[in-house]
Structure formats: C-alpha cells, structure tokens
Amino acid sequence: MAQQDATVLLDEDHNEVIRMFEQYKAAHDARRQQVLASEICQSLLVHMQIEEEIFYPAYQQATGDEEVLKDSRKEHKEARELIAKIDADRQNAKLMLDLEDAILHHVNDEREKMFPKARAAQGMDLMRLGDQLQLRKTELMEAHPA
C-alpha cells in the first residue's frame, strides 16, 4: 500500500464524495439514485469516523486548536442527523441536496482551516496518520458494506 499524507488521503475522500454527489444529481433512474445515496451516506459515515478516531485527536494534541475542532464536530453531528433522515426517507432528493450543501461547507473548512494548520504543525506525523486512517477505513468499509 502506497504511503500517503493524512491530509491528502482525507482530501481524496472529499473529492470522491463530491463526485458521487454529482453522479447522484445526474442520475435519472430512482434505483440508481438510491444506490448512490446509500454509497454516499456510507462513505461519509466511515470518513467522519476515521477523522474523529484518528485525525482529530492528533490534530488536537499537536495544535490545541479547539475552535476549529468544535465547529468540525458540530458539522459532523449535523451531517449524521441528515444521514439518519435520509435512511428513513430514501426517496427524498431535497435531503440529499441539503446533505451536499452541508458537506461542501464542511469540506471547505477542513481544506482551508484545518489541513494547512496540520501540515504546518510540529509533532503531527502525517505519513503515519495516513497509514492509520487507511487501515481503519478498510476495516470499516469491510465491516459495513454500502
């Protein structure tokens, strides 16, 4: 497995889910939309979990940046609430668009505020964190396929 900087790995997840939202919006068949909706929700849940288990605590320790973390955790909570609503109402395209808006905003915060600070921080081993994130991601995707 190629080693990857944690922020690069996480941002590739971001790009991937943004592409999936584009596919969702371009899909006209209801069955295809439902498959994409469930893949999007699954990949977001895994992504948020690995951030919270591995990346955020390391970021907290290295930067002490409570403010950005507090906002990020709040945005994860809001995304999980939307995902729970989507789970209960799989045909609801409006909820998927709300989720897309929330995720675009959150991704932007991580890209603009958190990742640059993480790259500049002393004491964050981004390559080692990248390995840990990749391992945990694989484990979670295998345990809960979409």
Give which of 78, 31, 72, 79 is closest to 52, Cα–Cα. 72
Count of residues that interact with Fe ion, criterion CB under 5 A:
2
Query: How many Å from the N-terminal Cα to the C-terminal Cα in the chain?
Result: 23
Kindly state the smallest distance separating residue 121's Cβ from Fe ion, in Å.
17
Residue type at 11 in one-letter notation: D
Using the minimum distance from each CB to Fe ion, give the nearer residue, 33 or 59.
59
Asked if residue 46 lies in contact with residue 144, where contact means CB atoms within 8 angstroms, the answer is yes
Q: Which stretch binds Fe ion (CB under 5 A): 20-28, 81-89, 97-105, 107-115?
A: 107-115
Using the minimum distance from each CB to Fe ion, give the nearer residue, 33 or 72.
72
What residues contact residue 100 under an 8 Å CB cut-off, 6+ apart? Answer: 21
Question: What is the contact mask toward Fe ion in residues 52 to 91, using x (rule: CB under 5 A)?
Answer: ----------------------------------------
Using the minimum distance from each CB to Fe ion, give the nearer residue, 100 or 110.
110
Using the minimum distance from each CB to Fe ion, give the nearer residue, 25 or 80.
80
Kindly state the smallest distance separating residue 79's Cβ from Fe ion, in Å.
8
Query: What are the CA-CA distances from residue 14 to residues 28, 31, 47, 79 (Å)?
Result: 24, 24, 9, 14
List of residues contacting Fe ion (CB under 5 A): 51, 110
